[in-house]
């Protein structure tokens, strides 16, 4: 049941369109996915292109993604179409040809972070943060499977980022909100909605924005989005950003044919996606620039990083296609490859924030032999000439992903990369007549075909 007070707000907001809006809530939510541009495979999934996202498509029906091994390999991400408009906003607000230091502040479960990763230049660095620890774990899994090496995953409160000795070029804040835009896809969200919840969310959003503002460099960009419709959480927060933090608008122009509704507040453009006009769920998005403030200067950290020895590096390097682009550190006995272009920045992050994961987890050495980490199986940097690959069909890969028995008769002894349509899924180690499945237990799928 749609809350009466919400109905009144929509009738005020969209007086001539309210009936069409409410009718749209009774229609099925579109199903959409976004392909990983760095993982190519022959997909049977096809459909209408999403005009504001180069790699996004609508599907005519919703399949069981859990039973598609390509999904588990990071070949595509199931993402709501409206939210993919972040791509067009980023392209207009930021020069994506440059090497950028970016933060996705409220990143779980990972849709926006994997999207940003695909848009940034190879030499950029993304910090993907989630404040809630349990949600940070699913974020880490999704980013690991996406396979790009230029990301640090953190579990921090927004205020913690002011500890860094460097500021971000761009910060994306997909703020926790009252969830009005989810009413069609998740009708139970209506039970959580109230005018009081809206006010509470708006206050929390302003706290988040105030806490993260010092972490943006002068001239840097903040992209703010919510999945809600009301002005309190959207336009009034833009007004607050302008009046309290001197944020100024950035000229963003979306194609009128896409159906987004443009608003303007204190010179700052915002865009609404309404489900009766846009083929997607409810969304609001805007971009602002920080005009004032002092830029921080990166200082070297006193505590050195624990770099791998030359002998250890010689054992690790052959597993990567471009080892010269990375520094190798050792955390306990796990070897990690970090983009060397960002060495001092990553050192600063390690010294001041709580890290979930960073770069590429390569694995552990037993003598000179590498025991590969699960993350290496998904990495776009994995040297397939070094790894022994073992291709399985769909049914057998699903058995592997369930950690059940699968046909390994023709598998050679030793470590093997399990693949589906050429996509890495994880590792298995054959020892004579038995095979050990190293797919992470907490990732295994739990439904049958």
Binding-site members for S-adenosyl-L-methionine are: 106-112, 130, 157, 174
∠ CA 88-111-142, nearest 5°, is: 145
- Per DSSP bridges, beta strands 168-174 and 261-265 are unpaired
Residue 201: active-site member: no
Q: Which residues pair with 286 in a beta bridge?
A: 224, 270
Nearest Cα residue to 136 out of 152, 154, 162, 123: 154
Nearest Cα residue to 106 out of 160, 179, 174: 174
The pair of structure tokens assigned to 75 is 């070949």
Q: Find tokens 């590969």 and name the residue.
A: 372
Evaluate whether 94 touches 101 at the Cβ level (below 8 Å): no
Alpha helices by DSSP H, listed for 323-373, are 343-352
- Indicate which residue of 172, 173, 208, 227 is catalytic: 227
| Annotated binding-site residue numbers | 106-112, 130, 157, 174
φ, ψ at 266 (rounded to 5°): 50, 40
The pair of structure tokens assigned to 25 is 């809530």
Euclidean distance between CA atoms 135 and 104, whole angstroms: 14
- Per DSSP bridges, beta strands 334-339 and 101-104 are unpaired
Evaluate whether 340 touches 301 at the Cβ level (below 8 Å): no
Euclidean distance between CA atoms 159 and 207, whole angstroms: 9
Residue 314's contacts (CB-CB under 8 Å, 6 or more residues apart) are none
The pair of structure tokens assigned to 30 is 């579109």
219 — alpha (psi -120 to 50), left (phi > 0) or beta?
Answer: left
Q: How far is CA 274 from CA 23, 34, 196, 257, 330, in A?
A: 12, 21, 23, 14, 49
Catalytic residue annotation: 227
């Amino acid at each position: 049941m749609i809350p009466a007070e919400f109905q009144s707000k929509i009738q005020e907001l969209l007086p001539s369109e309210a009936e069409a809006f409410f009718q749209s809530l009774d229609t099925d939510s579109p199903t959409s996915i976004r392909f990983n541009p760095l993982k190519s495979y022959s997909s049977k999934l096809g459909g209408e292109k999403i005009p504001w996202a180069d790699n996004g498509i609508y599907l005519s029906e919703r399949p069981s993604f859990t039973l598609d091994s390509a999904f588990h390999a990071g070949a595509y991400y199931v993402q709501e179409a409206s939210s993919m408009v972040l791509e067009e906003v980023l392209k207009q607000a930021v020069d994506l040809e440059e090497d950028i230091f970016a933060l996705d502040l409220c990143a779980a479960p990972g849709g926006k972070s994997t999207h940003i990763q695909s848009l940034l230049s190879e030499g950029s660095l993304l910090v993907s943060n989630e404040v809630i620890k349990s949600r940070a774990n699913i974020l880490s899994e999704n980013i690991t499977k996406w396979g790009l090496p230029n990301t640090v995953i953190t579990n921090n409160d927004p205020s913690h980022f002011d500890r860094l000795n460097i500021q971000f070029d761009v910060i994306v804040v997909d703020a926790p909100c009252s969830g009005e835009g989810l009413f069609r896809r998740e009708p139970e969200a209506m039970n959580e909605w109230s005018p009081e919840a809206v006010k509470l969310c708006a206050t929390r959003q302003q706290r988040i924005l105030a806490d993260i503002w010092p972490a943006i460099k002068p001239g840097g960009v903040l992209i703010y989005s919510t999945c809600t419709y009301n002005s309190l959480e959207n336009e009034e927060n833009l007004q607050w950003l302008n009046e309290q933090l001197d944020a100024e608008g950035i000229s963003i122009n979306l194609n009128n044919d896409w159906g987004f509704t443009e608003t303007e507040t204190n010179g700052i453009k915002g865009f609404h996606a309404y489900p009766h006009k846009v083929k997607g769920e409810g969304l609001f998005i805007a971009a602002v620039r920080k005009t004032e403030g002092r830029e921080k200067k990166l200082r070297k950290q006193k505590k050195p990083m624990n770099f791998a020895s030359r002998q250890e590096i010689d054992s690790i390097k052959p597993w990567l296609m471009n080892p010269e682009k990375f520094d190798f550190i050792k955390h306990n006995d796990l070897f990690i490859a970090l983009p060397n272009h960002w060495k001092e920045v990553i050192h600063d992050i390690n010294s001041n924030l709580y890290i979930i994961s960073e770069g590429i987890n390569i694995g552990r050495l037993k003598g000179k032999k590498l025991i590969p980490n699960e993350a290496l199986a998904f990495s776009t940097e994995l040297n397939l000439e070094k790894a022994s690959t073992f291709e399985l069909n769909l049914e057998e890969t699903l058995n592997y992903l369930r950690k059940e028995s699968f046909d390994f008769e023709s598998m050679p002894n030793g470590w093997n990369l399990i693949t589906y349509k050429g996509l890495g899924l994880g590792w298995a180690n054959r020892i004579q007549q038995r095979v050990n499945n190293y797919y992470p237990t907490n990732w295994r799928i739990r439904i049958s075909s």
